[in-house]
Amino acid sequence: MNRIGKVFGKLREKGEKALVGYITAGDPSIEKSFEIAKTLCTAGVDILELGMPFSDPTADGPVIQRASMRALKAGMTLQKAFEFVKRLRKDNIETPVILFSYYNPLFRYGGDRFYKNALESEVDGVLVVDLPPEESKEFTEKWNGWTPELFSFIRLIAPTTTPERMGEILKDSSGFVYLISKTGVTGSEEILPSSKGSNPRDNLDYNEISRMVQLIKTMTTVPVCVGFGVSTPAQAARIAQIADGVVIGSAFEKTIEEHQDNIDLLRILDNMVMEFKKAMVQQKP
């Protein structure tokens, strides 16, 4: 069992859900991004998701698109991302790390080289946004000796995925299943004002998310985490009642963008992680 499985096991024992924190590796600079990653891990994210900056991130909204551009400008590459994770391990960070990428940079890097470097760097898994199950064999068949227990291949399920298609996607899913909370791209619109009063109206359909999670759980024992559009502790708390984990990405990246020159950036992010965790723990069954 790799680090991801161990984390979900420990959380189940405590009756808690996983906080998965996403940042774009290399944003706003490689050194500052490294300190941000360490801060998120020590503050309490259960799994760190490192986005590989890509010039054409079709699944990402404006916040993460801008983060990718800053990281590319700072010189971030896949090879440097592996060195990034090695440094985290040398600093005794044991938080599971997964890479979030598109297939183009991985294909160019080479499937066999990617897998070898990922294991050497103690990366725990990968999520490839635009690689469907039917085409992924050309990537994974180059992973000599690969088993899902050693290195997780995390799959995405969208709100529009049919039950038949879910079955195909879940056949090879490991680590956790990433359920997209709503149609569209990453990032959330501001919480909308209610048409009936001054209270803000949440833009997530929790009944539909719950239905999708329950449907997935009839098909697999792999944990289900929900992301895309989850941006506040209150939203995370509600998702934690439904799923095994919550992915927070654009909220962290928006803070990094707004405070990239602020000497208190790490303290602000530390507080954010603790607020998300506190809200999720308070919703324990």
- Residue-wise pLDDT for 103-157, tens only, equals 999 999 999 999 999 999 999 999 999 998 889 999 999 999 999 889 999 999 9
Q: What is the mean pLDDT of the chain?
A: 91
Residue 195 is predicted with a pLDDT of: 46
pLDDT tens digits, 213-247: 999 999 999 999 999 889 999 999 999 999 999 99
Residue 183 is predicted with a pLDDT of: 74
Amino acid at 271: N
What per-residue string of b and e applies to 169-207 under the rule 16 or more CB within 10 Å gives b?
Answer: bbeebbbbbbbbbbeebbbbeebeeeeeeeeeebebeee
User: What confidence category does residue 61 fall into, taking pLDDT thresholds of 50, 70 and 90?
Assistant: confident
E-state strands within the chain = 18-24, 47-51, 97-101, 125-128, 152-157, 177-180, 192-193, 200-201, 224-227, 245-248
Mean pLDDT of 197-205: 64
Interhelix angle for 111-121 vs 78-90, to 10°? 20
Q: What residues are labeled active site? A: 49, 60
| Contact (CB, 8 A) for 41 and 88 | yes
pLDDT tens digits, 148-169: 889 999 999 999 999 999 999 9
Q: Tell me: pLDDT of 97 over 60.
A: yes
pLDDT tens digits, 64-73: 899 999 999 9
